[in-house]
A and B are shown apart, each in its own frame.
Chain A
Amino acid sequence: MSRYQTHITDVLVIGAGLAGERVAIEAATHGLDVTILSLVPPRRSHSTAAQGGMQASLGNCAMGEGDNPDIHFADTVKGSDWGCDQDVARLFVETAPIAVREMAVWGVPWSRVVAGKRTLPDGRVIEEKKEKEGLITARDFGGTAKWRTCYTADGTGHTLQYTMDSIVIKMGITVHDRTEAISLIHDGERCFGTVARCLRTGELRAYIAKSTVICTGGYGRLYSASTNAVINEGSGMFLALDTGVVPLGNMEAVQFHPTGMVPVWILITEGARGDGGYLLDKNLHRFMPDYEPKKKELASRDVVSRRMTEHIRKGYGVESPYGPHLWLDIRHLGAKHINTNLREIANICRNFAGIDPVKDLIPVRPTQHYSMGGVRTNIDGAAYGLKGLFAAGEAACWDLHGFNRLGGNSLAETVTAGRIIGKKVAEYTLGASLTFNPELVEDAVKKQENRIKGLINGWHGKENVYELRNLMQQNLMDYVGIFRNGKDLQKAVSNLQELYHRSHKIGLRSSGVGANPELAQALRLPGMIRLALCISYGALVRTESRGSHFREDYPKRDDVNWLKRTLAYWPEGADLPELKYEPVKITELPPGDRGYGESSAGSEGGKNG
């Protein structure tokens, strides 16, 4: 019999970012005992890095006047290229204004409406009304008909997370940080919690819960260049996939943010363009109006990223040791605006690139940023396939974003979905009983113990975990990027399959004892490669272009054959996911033209022609 600590709780939340903490607060409010596991202290979560803001149709500022959930809904569905579930989008847009105001009550210092006239960078004059002064204001973001993105300067994620965590502390919710869930305990029908590893001591623990909620964020670090934090390796997604019964939805939908700063790949917020910034090429020509006369720099992210890449391919990129890039120009916004409303990116430019955006151009290139795909759940956040398992936020495919997420809709999703799904988790948990088979737990822990022993002792081989990880990252980067084609995707799938087999033969170079990042990485890598295969294989099979998934050999959206969601399952012992499909829920807005981007109106067969 193995020796390990066992913790029992009502609700186990994996991940302490905004979605996780919001779910935890909601469940605790219902009187439930909640435990949060997190890789880092909650205030170090990657939610803090979100800069620009969260969308909610408050309609307080002049350019947001007349806004309402209907307009937010239409923007979201068009942005998703009709890939989202419209019942989810409707629920979301109706709840987002409540969620924003709730965060204000809890203490978020939202930027406020200032009455008076001002001139925008493009010459338009707007006037904020006196009676709206002091209400929560909003800024412009891509793909939206109104100014709808609420913000606190450009550190919105940071202020939201700090406020949310202050409520977690206030409520006395248990947080076990520097603890990593490494497998789900389940019997194929119900989830009973997780086996976790303490990152400080290396000890294993069992967490038994009536309900388990995955809120682990995205998988940016599967790519070699990503705006994501180093900790974003998609762990919650592969834990769910590893059960064999829970599918991941639309994993081929990967967002590339137009403005990652070269060469450190730190995000420069969309707020920079929303506030009036331009994209320039090597001739300092503002090229976006040539491609997108209507939305210019503020088309949806997938469109802007493709246009930028297209422009670079035509030879208009600026050469650099890190490959060609374009320029982001915010100089005309003026020192005062840059140093207040965009101060976070002003600091980033100064500290990480030694440039001053008040007088210098910022080198940018589209960079991996967000995963629309994730653990497939229903509208209540309940994962397909296992009772008692839920997911929320970027880790989930709820599915609000379809094939492209609008800027400002992810922060909004974390707190809005957290609120909605937290309530559903509470309802489920209040009606559930704590029953579990001790042998099941014992076996689950033993299985992980054996994995660890195998890695430490090199029982299965001596493959270097970091070398395999770099190869995986390079394959996704080179073959599963912004522009995709069948030949490259097939190459990625074959290479990743080989890497997947090699990942079962990893042997550690260090001792593996105690706090050991090499062991932690070795435990994660096979799961990460499984995610990489879900992304590449899903992309290979989807012979159309939709949102962020763009196939050069199938450049049209194909609503006849592909108006459906990919569900990737991982059968035991397989080296490729099994793909199934389900219809997308269209309740209000039938597929049509997005109003920006390459003509996306439906065509049969997706083939060029």
Chain B
Amino acid sequence: MRLTLRVARYDPGADVDIRMQKYLVEWERQETVLDVLFKAWQQDPTLAFRRSCRSGICGSCAMFIQDGPRLACQTLVGDLAGDGGELTLRPLPGFRPLKDLVVDLDPFFDALKQVIPWVLTVPGHDGRVAPEDSRRIEGPATCILCGICDAGIDSGGNVRPAALVKNVRLAVDPRDALGAQRMKVTGLTEEGLQTFRQLLARICPKGIELPAVALE
């Protein structure tokens, strides 16, 4: 099957704005957007995009694919386009483009520091964690920091979406000295958190479901 890939090109040294470039590629059922991007790259080694694990765990290949932010590696071409169809790839919105599909992630990683992103272990904690507590942490702990939530939805509070997910993960950890008090920094109401929970479930490529957490 064939596919026209429309890819945003941007060279900060030469371009004032993004321009779209077309690549004609062959593709097969079961191939992902990352697979066809590699084919475009073989035609044109100057094309810049991030990728590493190609298995949905490193979070490098988040981009705006067709109509929304997605991971290129875990998006099947066939879900978005048919034979002879077109697929549009742009850099992640809300981030400063650096080159082609590559964006500046430094502000994104820095934003995590809004929430003290490590466990402040309760002194003298005996190390036991109830299995149900351990399971509550697991959901938000699967975040891969791909940036898709930051690009696609609003947290409704004082911290950015990925930082909020991290904050909830720490707030429900029984080993953490701050615990639920961590939620104060978000400025969210119960209702606001519920809205975010629903938005996140729809957009997150890891399907993170935020556990219940006390707000006071």
Contact = CB atoms under 8 A, between A and B. Distances in A.
Contacts of A162: 141, 143
B66 to A, nearest CB: 16
Interface stretch (A104-112, A282-290, A307-315, A403-411): A104-112
Contacts of A581: none
B157 interface: no
Interface stretch (B88-96, B112-120, B187-195): B112-120
A511 B109 CA distance: 31
B131 A109 contact: no
A107 B140 CA distance: 13
A114 B131 contact: yes
A40 B42 contact: no
B130 interface: yes
Given A107-B175, A112-B129, A158 B144 contact: yes
B128 A134 contact: yes
A352 B134 contact: no
Nearest to A231: B52
Nearest to B99: A515
A462 interface: no
A166 B121 CA distance: 13
A230 B46 CA distance: 18
Contacts of A183: none
B134 A109 contact: yes
Contact of A155 (B45, B53, B57): B57
A105 B121 contact: yes
A160 to B, nearest CB: 11
A41 B129 contact: no
Given A159-B141, A354-B30, A112 B134 contact: yes
B142 interface: yes
B74 A351 contact: yes
A493 interface: no
Contacts of B185: none
Given A107-B175, A134-B131, A352 B55 contact: yes
Contacts of B57: 48-49, 155, 158, 344
B58 interface: yes
A284 to B, nearest CB: 22
A43 interface: yes
B190 to A, nearest CB: 25
A107 B98 contact: no
A40 B144 CA distance: 14
Given A159-B141, A352-B74, A44 B30 contact: no
Interface in A461-479: 466
B54 to A, nearest CB: 6
Interface residues of A, number: 59
B150 interface: no
Most buried by A among B56, B99, B102: B56
Contacts of A511: 46
Nearest to B98: A200
Interface string A420-441: 0000000000000000000000
A106 B32 CA distance: 36
B13 interface: yes
B58 A44 contact: yes
A119 B126 CA distance: 30
Contacts of A113: 131
B111 interface: no
Contacts of B134: 109-112
Contacts of A105: 121, 125, 127, 175
Given A135-B127, A230-B52, A109 B45 contact: no
B155 interface: no
Interface string B169-183: 010010110000000
A166 B119 contact: yes
B127 A101 contact: yes
A88 to B, nearest CB: 28
B24 interface: no
Contacts of A45: 58
Interface in B39-68: 42, 45-46, 48, 50-60
A177 to B, nearest CB: 9
Given A135-B128, A517-B45, A44 B141 contact: no
A113 B134 CA distance: 10
6 contacts: A48-B144, A105-B175, A106-B118, A135-B128, A158-B142, A159-B141
Nearest 7 interchain pairs by C-beta: A107-B119, A134-B128, A166-B118, A109-B137, A351-B74, A266-B55, A518-B45
Given A41-B105, A44-B60, A351-B74, 16 more contacts: A48-B57, A109-B141, A111-B134, A112-B131, A133-B130, A135-B127, A169-B112, A169-B118, A229-B54, A229-B58, A230-B53, A266-B55, A344-B57, A510-B46, A514-B13, A515-B99
Interface of A: 40-41, 43-46, 48-49, 101, 104-107, 109-114, 133-136, 152-153, 155, 158-159, 162-163, 166-167, 169-170, 200, 229-231, 263-264, 266-267, 340, 344, 347-348, 351-354, 466, 509-511, 514-518
Interface of B: 13, 30, 32, 42, 45-46, 48, 50-60, 74, 76, 98-99, 102, 105, 109, 112-113, 117-119, 121, 125, 127-131, 134-135, 137-138, 141-145, 170, 173, 175-176, 206-207
